[in-house]
Amino acid sequence: MKINYADYIKNADASVLVAEAIFSELELTYPIKYISEVAKTTSGGTPLRSNPDYYNGDVPWIKSGELNDGIIENAEEFITQKGLANSSAKLHPPNTLLLAMYGATAGRTGKAKIASSTNQAVCALFPKEEIEQDYLFWFLRQYRHKFIEISKGGAQPNISQSVINLTKLPVPSKDLQLQIVQFLFELEANKDIDFSKVPIQFRAKVTKVFTAKNNVFKISDEITHQLHLVKKLRRQLLQNAVQGKLVAQNPDDEHASILLQKIKAEKEQLIKDKKLKKEKELPPIKPEEIPFDIPENWVWCRLGEITSTISNGLYKPEHFYQQSGYISLRMFNIQHGQIDLKKVRRVVLNEQELDTYLLEENDILVNRVNSLELVGKSAIIKNIGEPAVFESMNMRLRLLLKDQMAQFVNQILLEERTRVYFYSNAKVANGQVSINQSQLFHLLIPLPPLAEQRRIIEKLNQLMKTCDALEASIKQSQLQNQQLLQQVLREALTKEAEPVAVA
């Protein structure tokens, strides 16, 4: 795990940044020593988990995840005296300074208020006479991101006891140590910095750091605002598209009511030919259901009126998922209105299953089970290049005129009003949110003439590409500013002269 320095600066507590500025300044004028010279270090251990005699005793046993950069009032787990004696765990006195060596909290500190032991992922530090414990505590807190940068390990950082012992720190007089510690604790408690209380020899450096940090916030907030505006513009363009406000209407276009009649006639013929099953008749549209005005040559209808079928996806036990199978699209493959073929899974199918769940070009895949924010997300099937099916968390929406209408209908499904419809009608069970076929069938949609649908999609795609370019430009500016600010902050937080040699 590596830390993005600009993110670190933005998220770090002000007291930690001030501590970093102070310690970098101390390095210019005071002796530098290894931690091993000014403190004794030791790690803990874990009693054998399979032995019940070693656990649920009266000895607090602190693990790395419990370190919180503050006071640790108690332990989450306790071991017995027998467990303590038969492991590498050691009993430490109250107020022992601790440092997490690996895991998600690596580099975090803590002070155990109680007599306690620790596991092997925690290093206990016992300062010698020349070092105040709280001075070492603040040094370790501000050094965390450096520990992580140099740490060894896989997915998570791993700070060895050797790395800790060989870490250098400046050692001023104990009076100055106490002055620094008092100021930092006051800053942490009050959050606002009073520059007049900064020890005079550190004031210029601390001011420089805070100026840079404020610039990080200002620029980051402005870029976030700009990205929000682009997102808002996308929503507005989509709303204009489905409300008939994106392109001009053409009086020569065939009225959408005629299009709807043709679709209904085709559907009735397919039912008569027994190629489709007759569905329960959809309720008429009531005036109070209509959410906004549409152009004169548009018409309101229910999605079920223009739909051939809506089907739930395939469920297969895990052992059927193999590299040699067919692509099976999951909810994770629906991203931002498009199919994302990264990380697809493949499933072994028989001929009947493939025929039942096969996706065709211009089918619309709708996610039926997900979180409240994501349920109902959709995408058009385009250019997959090989046979693909869909799994049970999704529904396949197949329009009667899918090759002509799928793109416009998909935009309706992505629009905010439809999202609200899904949120409002979704069912919650066992922590999952779901919508069903009936809710899709009953969805009220505005239907433009086919010619206008094509013009809308062409214009919308053009404008969305402009939004893409704008967003990419903002993100590039964000990256450049982060790099510039990172350099400024590194300069502000590093020493400007050679330190005194190790004593």
Phi-psi region of 94 (alpha: psi -120 to 50; beta: other; left: phi over 0): beta
pLDDT of residue 19: 92
Structural domain boundaries, residue 360:
254-448
Final residue before a domain boundary, out of 400, 422, 448: 448
495 in Cβ contact with 23 (< 8 Å): no
Stated pTM of the model: 0.67
User: Do 444 and 302 share a structural domain?
Assistant: yes
- Alpha-carbon 409 to chain mean position: 29
Final residue before a domain boundary, out of 156, 182, 209: 209
Q: Kind of pairing, strands 338-339 and 388-390? A: unpaired
Q: Kind of pairing, strands 432-434 and 444-447? A: unpaired
pLDDT of residue 500: 36
* Residue 219: inside a domain: no
For 177-224, the pLDDT digits (tens) are: 999 999 999 888 886 777 777 888 888 888 877 777 777 778 878 888
User: Do 314 and 181 share a structural domain?
Assistant: no
pLDDT, mean of residues 395-418: 97
Lowest mean pLDDT among 330-344, 422-436, 458-472, 475-489: 475-489
* Residue 398: inside a domain: yes
85 in Cβ contact with 123 (< 8 Å): no
* Residue 500: inside a domain: no
* Residue 105: inside a domain: yes
User: Do 172 and 265 share a structural domain?
Assistant: no
Rounded percentage of the chain residues whose pLDDT exceeds 90: 74
Tell me if residue 368 falls in helix, strand or coil.
coil
Provide the CATH number for the domain around residue 134. Answer: 3.90.220.20
pLDDT of residue 85: 97
- Computed from CA positions of residues 20, 22, 24, 26, in that sequence, does the dihedral angle turn out positive or negative? negative
pLDDT of residue 166: 95
pLDDT of residue 152: 56
Final residue before a domain boundary, out of 209, 243, 272: 209
- DSSP letter at 497? S
* Residue 484: inside a domain: no
Residue bearing tokens 């500025």: 21
Q: Kind of pairing, strands 334-335 and 338-339? A: antiparallel
Edge-first strand listing for the sheet containing 427-429: 369-370, 432-434, 427-429
User: Do 153 and 26 share a structural domain?
Assistant: yes
User: Do 269 and 369 share a structural domain?
Assistant: yes
User: Do 51 and 121 share a structural domain?
Assistant: yes
User: Do 289 and 202 share a structural domain?
Assistant: no
- Computed from CA positions of residues 135, 137, 140, 144, in that sequence, does the dihedral angle turn out positive or negative? negative
For 94-122, the pLDDT digits (tens) are: 999 999 998 888 999 999 999 999 999 99
User: Do 273 and 203 share a structural domain?
Assistant: no
Instruction: Return the amino acid letter for 118.
Output: T
pLDDT of residue 499: 37
User: Do 262 and 201 share a structural domain?
Assistant: no
* Residue 459: inside a domain: no
* Residue 273: inside a domain: yes
User: Do 175 and 95 share a structural domain?
Assistant: yes
User: Do 412 and 330 share a structural domain?
Assistant: yes
- DSSP letter at 253? S
Q: How many domains does the chain have?
A: 2
* Residue 466: inside a domain: no
pLDDT of residue 321: 95
